[in-house]
Amino acid sequence: MSAAPAPTVTAVPAAPGRPGRRGRRPARLGVSAATRRQQARLGVLLVAPAVALMLVFLVFPVLNAVYYVFVDFDGLDVTPPWVGLGNFTELAQDRQVWAAAWNNLIWIVLGTVGPLVLGLTLALLLWGVRRGSTLYRIVFFLPYVLPQVAVGVVWGWIYAPTRGWLNRGLEAVGLGGLARGWLGDPDTALYAVIATAVWTATGFVFVIILSALRNVDTEQVDAAMLDGAGYLQRLRYVVLPQIRPVFLMVTALTLIGGFAVFDLVFVMTGGGPANATEVLGTYAYSNAFQLSRISYGTTLALVVTALAVPVAVWLDRLQRRAALDGGGA
Amino acid sequence: MRSSPKVLMVSACLLATACTGQTGSDDGGGGGGGDGANTLRYLIEQLEDADELTRLEEHLADFEESSGIDVQVQQLDVDTMRTVLQTQLRADDGPDVISWGSGPGSGGALAEAGLLYDLTDAYEENGWEVYDFAKERVTYDGRVYGIPGELETVGLYYNTQVLADVGIDPPRTLDELRAACRTISEAGLVPMAFGDQEGWPGSHLLSMALSSALGSDGMQALLAGEGSWESPEVVDALTFWQEANTNGWLGESPVSIDYDTMTALYISGEAAMIPTGSWFVNDLAIGADFESGYVPFPAPDGEGVFASGLGSGPFVSANTDNPEGAIELLDFLASEEHAQWVVENLQTIPARPVDTAGLDVDPLLAQVLEEVSALSEGGGGLGYNIDVLMPEAFNDVMFDGVQAVLTGQSTPAEVAAALQAASEQ
């Protein structure tokens, strides 16, 4: 018995203009309807677990949250009253929200710029260093993998007014006049917490950028040097363009972290003193779980998400464009 | 209610005194928590360590033998408990008995939502003896829903040796307190150890100063909405603490210091006095190698009164399958035998009369017990610890307000106005 001829699959030529881009399906000529149905069933079967997980752990909670922002749920009433846009109206008029959002903004700026500058500087300094590179990468990366709660507790001790290392250090070098209760002073508390956050994030930025630097074409750097380019010029026109996608990725991660900041503030100051370090995350938490205003807290959380998503999308597109434009690393 | 970890631990201990045990009866079975028909599920606030639970289990052995009820203890930290409690109480397999705060925002809210079992008849049938004012705190809309937990007072501790060394007596008036602080400062010590990083210790400052200024009736009227939070007494109470902080009588940057550091400052002998609650007696008994005295915070024109409040106490779930067993458990928790055990082992004050004769009790606690008992039975002799009586939204404003006064972010008058606004919401 002769074997049946193998089905022939003929590829349709790609449409002119944007060859190879997504959205173009190859034709499935020669595949029987039964096979296609089997493949479809198999496909459904394969994606079903992922879809189920998504529905249970993502879609349902999000829809549930959306429901809560339109009612006034206190955690007790099983039939909370419908308030429509009332939570959003209150949010817009809540001065503490704006104060917390301002603190978030400060955090986003300093908490992003700080680690980027420090991490990039460290990476450039240690770019050419080979001996002990593993050791210093571990040392610098360690703060990033430590639990934020532990970091917050330890830095709370460092900032302690009477026995804290910072004040003792200042006194030891003759700067005792600067000593203060760093976390209890409304003028310094937020910046003290941000400094802790910068300390934890710098190692992450350093390790990622250092890895990117290892992929930089050093011949271009040498050529620029032969052409008389100074250090900053080589950095600006040769090095940074090659690591731009990675740089943008790190920027995106640290920047989005500024929107979602919670743990360090919660552990180190609880949002105090007198709301001086309150950010949207801690304000949402205190409303939802300490004041039993679940709906208002949920509304705040959704707003934080809504603010962060466009920025994340914008940075993602920027990164893709940089990669397509020939970014190296 | 927002309390120190120690307070929470003690509260949980009080309630957990009915955990574990074998059972003999066939009826009942917890709202589902138990594995069998003779079990009760008992949800309490997280204990501080395993040793606490061990001591409780040992104490409960008698109850278990006599009742035949197996009590399964489940612990949750207070924040998690606040989040999941109402869900658990609605569940078929939820707890039968819970340990929870007695304020209107705690037990009162659960009662209003129909989640608590009405114990009014059980009180009459079992003759549970608790102080009247404490019973009022677990009475909502004329019905009684719980057993009051331990009684807490807030006042001023002092190191007797330090005060003797600098030649002053325990302060009885505000002017005496001011003079004492100046003298202690000149001696190179911190007059009053204080830390308000968490916010709730600041409410104790206001509670004790205001209770002594207004007295029991005045505080009752204020908390009932019949007085104004913008009154001169409230502003003056906040102003005193502003003055104390400005003069350095509260140590360096008190808002940067947490409660544990605050107590360490006193126990280490670096501070001569400490404004805190009766739960601190236990810490002193364990950690301090000097003798302390405990007095009410001074009033502007004479001796003050202790501010008082209740810790968490046991409530029965409305959804329990075994109300008889749950009430039997509460009967044990309301007994004098249990109260004596609490005094001796947890060094806290039961919200009921207790005979301490023959008990091994710390002298300072014995003094506090005697004073509180006399005042409680006489009625009208105690002030109020504000944060266990007011809703969380008000407490939030109060915590922030006292911090703001101490850090100079707000004036006492501004904070008083904010308190008045919060009380009207």
Interface contact flag, A185 B407, Cβ < 8 Å: yes
Query: What's the rounded mean pLDDT across residues A232-247?
Result: 91
Q: What is the pLDDT of residue B78?
A: 77
- A289 has a pLDDT exceeding 50: yes
Distance from the Cα of B218 to chain A's closest Cα (Å) equals 27
Q: What is the pLDDT of residues A130-155, one digit of tens each?
A: 888 888 888 889 999 999 999 999 99
Q: Classify residue B387 by its DSSP letter.
A: G
Query: Contact at 8 Å (CB) between A117 and A209?
Result: no
B67: phi then psi, degrees, rounded to nearest 5:
-90, -30
* Higher-pLDDT residue of B149, A269: A269
At A138, which helix (H) or strand (E)?
helix A133-145
**Of the partner residues A272, A274, A289, the one whose CB lies closest to the CB of residue B82:** A289
Q: What is the pLDDT of residue A1?
A: 39
pLDDT (0 to 100) of residue B7:
39
Which pTM was predicted?
0.79
Q: A316 and A228, same structural domain?
A: yes
- Indicate whether A109 and A244 sit together in one domain: yes
Q: Which residues of B touch A100 (CB under 8 A)?
A: none
Measuring CA to CA, which residue among B110, B25, B20, B30 is closest to residue B313?
A: B110
Number of domains in chain A: 2
HSE (side-chain half, CA atoms, 13 Å) at B47:
21
Q: In this predicted structure, what is the pLDDT of residue A29?
A: 58
State whether A76 and B113 contact (CB < 8 Å). Answer: yes
CATH topology of domain B154-308+378-424: D-Maltodextrin-Binding Protein; domain 2 (3.40.190)
Of B90, B110, B197, the CB nearest to A184: B197
Fill in the DSSP letter of residue B254: G
User: 340-359 in B: which are within 8 Å (CB) of A?
Assistant: none
What gap in Å lies between CA B116 and CA B98, rounded to an integer? 10
Q: Is A281 a residue whose pLDDT tops 50?
A: yes
Residues A63 and A111 in one domain: no
Q: Measured between CB atoms, does B109 come within 8 Å of chain A?
A: yes
* Cα distance between residue A246 and residue A254, in whole Å: 12
Contact B404 A273 (CB under 8 A): yes
Which residue matches tokens 């550091």?
Answer: B261
Question: A183-206 pLDDT, tens per residue?
Answer: 999 999 999 999 999 999 999 999
Selected residue of B100, B255, B270 to mutate for chain A interface (largest A Cβ count, 10 A): B255
Q: Is the pLDDT of residue A91 over 80?
A: yes
pLDDT value, residue A5: 45
pLDDT at B345: 82
Nearest CA in chain A to B401: A274
Q: Could you tell me if A54 and A188 lie in one domain?
A: no
A residues 151-190 lying closer than 8 A (beta carbon) to B:
156, 159-162, 180-186
- Report which of A83, A93, A91 is spatially closest to residue A307, judged by C-alpha positions: A91
Residue A7 predicted with pLDDT over 70: no
Under an 8 A CB cutoff, do B253 and A181 touch? yes
Average pLDDT, chain A: 87
Residues of chain B with CATH 3.40.190.10: 5-150+311-354, 154-308+378-424
Of A11-15, A142-146, A212-216, least confident by mean pLDDT is A11-15
Fold of B5-150+311-354: D-Maltodextrin-Binding Protein; domain 2 (3.40.190)
Q: Which domain holds residue A174?
A: 96-324
What confidence score (pLDDT) does residue A10 get? 43
Q: Looking at CA atoms only, how far is residue B393 from chain A in angstroms? A: 6
**Is some CB atom of chain B closer than 8 A to the CB atom of A217?**
no
Which residues of chain B are under the pLDDT cut of 50?
A: 1-36
Residue B185 near chain A (CB below 8 Å): no
Residue A120 clears pLDDT 80, i.e. is over it: yes
- What band does A287 get if pLDDT is binned at 50, 70 and 90? very high
At residue B286, the pLDDT reads 82
Share of chain A above pLDDT 90, in %: 64
Is A215 contained in some domain? yes
Distance from CA of B252 to the nearest CA of A (A): 7
- Measured CA to CA, the distance from residue B385 to residue B2 in angstroms comes to 11
The ipTM of this complex is 0.75
